Amino acid sequence: MIIRHGLVRGGLGFSPGGDGSVIEDWLRGRTNGVLMRVAGIIAWTGVTPNALTVLGFLGMVVAGVLCARGSFFFAGIVVAASCAFDALDGALARASGAASVFGAFLDSFLDRYAEAAVYAGLLVHYAGAGPTWGVWAAFAAAIGSLMVSYARARAEGLGVACRVGLFARPERIAVIVVGLVTGLVLPALAVLAVATNATAARRLFHVRGATLSASRPPRSP
């Protein structure tokens, strides 16, 4: 993640209310310098970080419409481009000194809708063109993705760090883009349907273990 709006924000839309991962940390370390240089240029135009956040969200909505129409390749390109906006908004906030608590919240808030828009488009497409299991896969992937993000946000609201599991947002976006661009959409949805819900369950058990450990009385010497 990139520090943005006074809080953690950026890098494919990762945020404190989101669900960062090791991949996110790896990407941050290798792209931060480039993003800051580009953000410095954008700052001269007067564009705000929140504007980039909204543009990234609108791009994902367009991708969802393209998915519904079966234009998977172009949808994948739009998703990838939207992620570029979402990566730059955090760097722009740092470069322009426009950090705000609301900006970080807006980022997390729109990230959830953005991802859901793509799944909704895929669900609509398969509802009309089949196969039927594609509808269920899109629905399960959408629910799993939202629960992965919610599990971390709720756990951290309770004071429990919760970044465990493999399918946080970076992995999900990567699978979506690859699936759309290659045309392997159904296999990608199948992977996401299973892996996201498995990650959500992993976080559930992680929080259970962490809270049980904290509530156990110490053993007598």
Sequential pLDDT tens for the chain (221 residues): 333 333 445 444 334 444 555 566 666 666 666 777 777 787 788 888 888 899 999 999 999 999 999 999 999 999 999 988 878 887 888 777 777 888 889 988 999 999 999 999 999 999 998 899 999 999 999 999 999 999 999 999 999 999 898 898 889 999 999 999 999 999 999 999 999 999 999 999 999 999 987 666 555 55
Q: Is the peptide bond before 187 cis (omega within 30 degrees of 0)?
A: no
In this structure, which amino acid lies at residue 68?
A
Q: What is the C-alpha to C-alpha distance for residues 136 and 184, in angstroms, rounded to an integer?
A: 16
Q: Per CATH, is 2-206 categorized as 1.20.120.1760?
A: yes
State the pLDDT at residue 80.
94
Q: What is the C-alpha to C-alpha distance for residues 137 and 128, in angstroms, rounded to an integer?
A: 14
Q: What is the C-alpha to C-alpha distance for residues 154 and 118, in angstroms, rounded to an integer?
A: 24
Backbone angles phi, psi at 9, to 5 degrees: -165, 145
Catalytic residues: 111
167 contacts: CB under 8 Å, gap ≥ 6: 144, 148, 192, 195, 196, 198, 199
State the pLDDT at residue 85.
83
Give the domain ranges of the chain: 2-206
State the pLDDT at residue 1.
33
**What 3-state DSSP class applies to 188?**
helix
